[in-house]
Amino acid sequence: MIGAALRQLLDEEQLREGVGRLAEEINGHYQGRPLTIIGVLTGSVVLLADLIRLLDMPLKVGLVQATSYRGATTPGELELNLDLLPDIAGRQVLIVDDIFDTGHTLAALVEKFMALGPAQLRSAVLLRKAGRVEVPLQPDHVGFEIPNEFVVGYGLDYADLYRNLPHVAALDPEDLSPQHGQKQSAAASGENGS
């Protein structure tokens, strides 16, 4: 992976502004009402950390892990680990994820969370990828629209690399092995694709 061709799509300043816009929208919607914000591991951790510092309401923070592949290359069924999820019954809840790709992860989370009885359930994503959605659901808050490319950085990974980049970049197709190319398509949420 060293020497992979990365094309920057969003720089640090654009990301700061985009997260600021998301925070303004979220603050405007909740108007200071208590909120439980749930980050989807692992890709959302950078966004979650930056976003919660801009929110102006009483906050509870929880995490959920969504995985749709085994190991590095084998696609599988979507698995949700709710062990770190706080009680959301009767609460305003916001799911925060890194990327909305096919939408299967967000749709599964919404279905699972609605069964737990929140007062209201909404969602926010940093990135919405063009041309990939396979569900009728759309996120309520979107930071950026991006082309249908494999992206890394700002929490997003390729084979568990690049999460620490301070910007969002696209990996060139020749830098994706056939197995890992399938991973993002099949993972369509879990780690780098929602």
Reference 149, options 30, 6, 11; nearest CA is 6
CA 167 from centroid of its chain's CA atoms: 15
CB 98 within 8 A of CB 156: yes
Helix (H) / strand (E) containing 189: none
Confirm whether 101 is a catalytic residue. Answer: yes
Helix (H) / strand (E) containing 108: helix 104-114
Selecting among 50, 97, 98, 101, the annotated active-site residue is 101
Give the amino acid at 47: L
Angle between helices 45-52 and 12-30 (to 10 degrees): 60
Active site residues: 101
